[in-house]
Amino acid sequence: MIRYDKARAAAEAFCARLGEKKPLVMGVLNVTPDSFSDGGLFAAPAAALAHARDMAGAGADMIDIGAESTRPGFAPVDEDEEWARLEPVLGPLAEATPIPLSIDTGKAGVARRALALGCAIVNDVTGLRGDAEMAAAVAESGAALVVMHNPGAADPARDIVADMIGFFEDSLDLAARAGVEWGKIILDPGIGFGKTLQQNLAALAGVATLREHFELPVLIGVSRKSFLGALTGAPVEARLAPTIAANLAALARGAQIFRVHDVADHVAAIKIWSEIVRA
């Protein structure tokens, strides 16, 4: 029987912070050779651990670790390959990092192994649709869960906000039937997944509707994504300002967690935004 004591305790502490309603920054750590922005940069365990320490020092509230790219046209990997990329980093990181760790995977087997090491959050880009065991894996561990809207191929005729609501209602039903705690669920509009440029913008603008409808925290992942390049003409390495602008717009609409590559810049931007609002 797998013991999840560390994961459960870390998830409880993380969800207590969520309850404070303050913005939180999630640092991205890709241990992949082919991610669109930083593929290969942190595939070596020493580089990955150093980057994780840097993000924690820059003010990240949690770190999201992924070992399978989800960029357009990505090459899927099997569970053994995904875990072979994760294990050399995840074990030492779980021991050394005081902030919560999130596992970015659509595979229940990978999630279970990561949770056994102490990860507090499962970030499932399939919205519980990719692996029938995922909801049960989250429930039995007591972890927090990020459910992402991922409708498949883009359809320009789709009412994206209505589609998100229907998709999330179905995913939340799957979670509830498995026993996932409602207070540990986070919604992600899935910017860049199955959406046209205009639908990405509508999804960001629809954050307030999601918050009102579900009364659950919302996570935004727009960091360096292609729709920002389509709007500005900026290459991947020059999309920091567009990323911050999109995240602050979502923050104003009620989003709480921001999944980013550039942690220090977002910590500073959110601090200034928060101080102005507080004043």
Q: What is the DSSP string of 7-28?
A: HHHHHHHHHHHHTTT--EEEEE
Residue 22 annotated to the active site: no
Count the residues in the chain: 279
Mean pLDDT by 10 residues, the chain (279 residues): 88 94 95 58 77 94 88 74 90 87 96 95 96 97 97 96 98 98 97 97 98 98 96 95 98 98 98 95
Only one residue has tokens 């995240």, namely: 247
Residue 184 annotated to the active site: no
Looking at residue 36, its pLDDT comes to 47
Degrees (nearest 5) of the Cα angle 102, 59, 20? Answer: 70
Looking at residue 57, its pLDDT comes to 95
Looking at residue 37, its pLDDT comes to 52
Q: In the chain, what are the domain boundaries?
A: 5-278
Please check whether residue 86 is in contact with residue 31, taking contact to mean a CB–CB distance below 8 angstroms.
Answer: yes
Which DSSP state fits 155? Answer: -
* Stated pTM of the model: 0.93
62: which strand partners?
26
Rounded distance between C-alpha atoms, residue 50 and residue 71, angstroms: 24
Please check whether residue 99 is in contact with residue 119, taking contact to mean a CB–CB distance below 8 angstroms.
Answer: no
Looking at residue 93, its pLDDT comes to 87
CATH of domain 5-278: 3.20.20.20
Closest CA to 38 of 245, 232, 225, 244: 225
Task: Count the neighbouring beta carbons within 10 Å of the beta carbon of residue 215.
Answer: 8
CA atoms within 13 A on the CB side of 146: 31
Catalytic pick among 184, 195, 225, 239: 225
Residues 6+ apart with CB under 8 A from 197: 227, 230, 231
3-state secondary structure of 148: strand
Give the burial string for 42-51 (b: 16+ CB within 10 Å, else e).
bbebeebbeb
